[in-house]
Amino acid sequence: MRREVLRNLLAAFGVVFIAIIALSVVVGVFMDSEITGEKVAVVELQGVITDPADVNQELQDLAARDDVKAVVLRIDSPGGAVGPSQEIHREVEKLREKKTVVASMGTVAASGGYYAAVAAEKIVANPGTITGSIGVIMEFFNAQELLGKIGLKGYVIKSGKYKDVGSPLREMEAEERALIQAAIDDVNRQFIKAVAEGRRLKTEEVEKIADGRIFTGMQAKEQGLVDELGSLSDAITLSARLAGIEGEPVVIYTGKSRISFWKAMFGGTSVDSLAELFSGLRLMYLMPNPAR
């Protein structure tokens, strides 16, 4: 009898728990749309940039919303792969055709993170934000001697002479190094062009500082790489003003509304962790091959 009662209690608890999760999802989906007024949306770009799908989808969704007048792209990223950074940059450019877009830099917004930022109408950084790092890098290693010491030898079968460029099994030849350098230089020119156009600077001015060096937010402002020094709150206020929103703007955070429901219901970090697990919070990805 006791076991049956216990099973029933556990089953009831499970049903209630699932119902709460379902309710949080429903609330997360509809919470933003139920809030009236002209809105500023905050989209987060976090971690090393490898897959732009999530953040780009958020930007596209916001472009279709009439109630969202401005978007703040909050960046905390050291950079990432070139292609994905360019895709985010392009999506921000397209969003600017419909909305005011301001980039807000957190702890770090460098390399690919800065690439995404320059597509915004304005850039706001903290004085101590680490940014810049305009440049491209590819890294290789040669394990030939190490493998020889432990008695291993690698063999490569390839369809073309350059198919194994960068192989760790042998020394890189001068011709191969020149081939890779040409590709890096081309991508770097694309980066410089994006910065020059986005920041309304001369190409020669950007080239002088496009050597991979980093800047603090304060130094970046002196170089014309950012517009204003300030926090996320300052960036939100600026975006609202540029968008012509009168009074205090309504601020929404994409991908965060479902967690807000959990906090309102329970509070506490452990419940927040469950909320992240069950509510489909968008997370950025990490990648060990950044183009910094």
Residues 132, 135: Cα–Cα separation, whole Å:
9
Q: Is 111 a catalytic residue?
A: yes
The residue from 111, 239, 257, 260 that is catalytic is 111
Residues 67, 62: Cα–Cα separation, whole Å:
9
Q: Is 104 a catalytic residue?
A: no
With helix as H, strand as E and coil as C, how does 196-263 read? HHHHCCCHHHHHHHCCCCEEEHHHHHHCCCCCEECCHHHHHHHHHHHCCCCCCCEEEECCCHHHHHHH
CA 47 to chain centre: 6
The residue from 163, 193, 202, 233 that is catalytic is 163
Rg (CA), the chain: 24
Residues 88, 55: Cα–Cα separation, whole Å:
8
Instruction: Show which residues are catalytic.
Output: 111, 163
